[in-house]
C-alpha cells in the first residue's frame, strides 16, 4: 500500500469514529505508520494537526446536530468526545464564534469538510536530496517534550532560550525529533545536540541518544528555507519515493557553518 492509500484509509477510519471511540494510534496503523510519523506526515499533507482536524470535524457534526434536532447540548457534547458541557461550549465558541445554544437558535456556523488525500503532479517542484549510508553514531543533548499541535511555534522558542543562555551544555550542531512511544499523546521529544564523544562526561541535564547504522535521505537547505524544505520532504518527496520507506522513529536537523542546514530522514529500501 502506498502512502496516499494508507492516509486515505486513516481518514476513513477517523470519519467513521467521530461520534465514538477514536484512537489516533489505530488511525496511524491504518496508514502503516507509527503514530509519530503519522502525526508529522498528516500535518505536512493536510496543513493542520490530527487533533485539530478531529476537533474541527466533531464540532462541525455537533453543530449540525444541534441546529437540526432537539438534542440536548450535554448529550451532543458527550457524543462527540467532550466530558463536560462547559469544555464543549468553550471549544464550540472558539470554532464557530457562537455558543451551542445560539446554534440551536439558527446562528451562522462554520463547517470543516472531510479531507480526501489525492496526490497529484502539480508545480514540478524540485527537491534536492541524496541517499547516504551512515555508520552507527550517538548524540548528546538537552531536550524538552513538545506537542505535535504547537511544536512549530514552541521549538523555535526553545532554540531562542538555548542560544540566549550564557552557559550551554552543547554547541547545538543537531536538532533531533524523537518518538516518545507514548500512544495517543501526540507528544515527541526534541533534543538540541552534538556528536557524543564517549571519553567525555555527559553534561548535567543532558542525555545520550544512539542511532544504528543505516541509510538516510539528506535534504540540503538553509535556515530561511528549513520549514519549507521540511514540508516538501514529508508532502512531496516521501509520497513519491517508491524505492524507500521510513524506518525507526526520529528525524534530524544538522546545522552547518554559513547558515547551511541538512534534514536527515531515516529510510530503508522498500
| pLDDT single digits (tens) 162-198 | 999 999 999 999 999 998 776 556 789 999 999 999 9
Q: Which of 86, 104, 122 is where one domain is finished?
A: 104
For residue 202, is it within any domain? yes
Does the structure show a pLDDT above 60 at 124? no
Beta-strand pair 244-246/187-195: unpaired
Longest dimension (CA), the chain: 70
Q: What is the CATH number of the domain that holds 169?
A: 3.20.80.10
Q: Are residues 137 and 201 in the same domain?
A: yes
Q: What is the CATH number of the domain that holds 91?
A: 1.10.10.60
Residue 151: the pLDDT is 85
Query: How far is residue 221's CA from residue 30's CA, in Å, rounded to a whole number?
Result: 32
**What is the count of structural domains for the chain?**
2
73 confidence band (pLDDT: 50, 70, 90)? very high
Domain hosting 11: range is 3-104
- Mean pLDDT of the region 133-142: 96
Q: Are residues 68 and 144 in the same domain?
A: no
Q: Are residues 98 and 187 in the same domain?
A: no
* Rounded alpha-carbon distances, angstroms, from residue 77 to 73, 100, 102, 192, 242: 6, 10, 15, 41, 43
Q: Are residues 167 and 211 in the same domain?
A: yes
Q: Are residues 239 and 190 in the same domain?
A: yes
In this predicted model, what pLDDT tens digit does every residue of 9-64 receive, in sequence order?
Answer: 999 999 999 998 999 999 999 999 988 899 889 988 888 889 999 999 999 999 99
Q: Are residues 151 and 27 in the same domain?
A: no
Contact between residue 123 and residue 228 where contact means Cβ atoms under 8 Å apart = no
Q: Are residues 92 and 144 in the same domain?
A: no
- DSSP secondary structure code for residue 259 in this structure: G
Residue 95: the pLDDT is 94
Q: Are residues 136 and 265 in the same domain?
A: yes
Output the pTM of the full model.
0.82
For residue 116, is it within any domain? no
121 confidence band (pLDDT: 50, 70, 90)? very low
For residue 110, is it within any domain? no
Q: Are residues 59 and 182 in the same domain?
A: no
Q: Tell me what percent of the residues of the chain surpass a pLDDT of 90.
A: 62
Q: Are residues 85 and 205 in the same domain?
A: no
- Mean pLDDT of the region 209-229: 93
Q: Are residues 213 and 85 in the same domain?
A: no
For residue 212, is it within any domain? yes
125 confidence band (pLDDT: 50, 70, 90)? low
Amino acid at each position: 500500500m502506498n502512502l496516499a492509500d494508507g492516509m486515505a484509509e486513516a481518514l476513513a477510519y477517523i470519519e467513521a469514529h467521530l461520534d465514538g471511540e477514536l484512537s489516533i494510534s489505530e488511525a496511524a496503523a491504518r496508514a502503516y505508520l507509527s503514530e509519530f510519523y503519522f502525526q508529522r506526515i498528516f500535518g505536512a499533507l493536510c496543513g493542520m494537526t490530527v487533533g485539530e482536524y478531529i476537533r474541527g470535524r466533531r464540532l462541525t457534526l455537533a453543530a449540525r446536530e444541534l441546529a437540526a434536532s432537539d438534542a440536548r447540548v450535554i448529550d451532543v457534547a458527550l457524543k462527540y468526545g467532550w466530558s463536560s458541557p462547559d469544555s464543549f461550549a468553550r471549544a464550540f465558541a472558539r470554532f464557530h464564534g457562537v455558543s451551542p445554544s445560539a446554534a440551536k437558535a439558527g446562528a451562522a456556523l462554520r463547517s470543516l469538510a472531510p479531507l480526501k488525500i489525492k496526490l497529484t503532479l502539480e508545480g514540478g517542484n524540485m527537491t534536492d536530496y541524496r541517499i547516504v549510508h551512515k555508520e552507527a553514531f550517538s548524540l548528546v543533548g538537552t531536550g524538552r517534550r513538545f506537542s505535535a499541535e504547537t511544536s512549530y511555534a514552541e521549538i523555535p522558542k526553545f532554540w531562542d532560550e538555548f542560544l540566549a543562555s550564557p552557559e550551554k551544555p552543547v554547541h547545538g550542531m543537531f536538532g533531533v525529533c524523537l518518538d516518545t512511544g507514548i500512544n495517543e499523546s501526540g507528544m515527541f521529544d526534541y533534543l538540541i545536540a552534538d556528536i557524543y564523544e564517549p571519553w567525555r562526561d555527559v553534561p548535567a541535564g543532558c542525555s545520550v541518544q544512539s542511532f544504528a547504522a543505516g541509510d538516510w535521505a539528506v535534504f540540503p537547505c538553509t535556515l530561511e528555507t528549513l520549514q519549507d524544505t521540511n514540508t516538501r520532504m514529508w508532502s512531496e518527496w516521501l509520497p513519491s519515493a517508491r524505492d524507500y520507506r521510513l524506518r525507526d522513529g526520529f528525524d534530524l536537523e544538522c546545522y552547518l557553518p554559513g547558515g547551511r542546514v541538512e534534514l536527515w530522514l531515516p529510510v530503508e529500501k522498500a
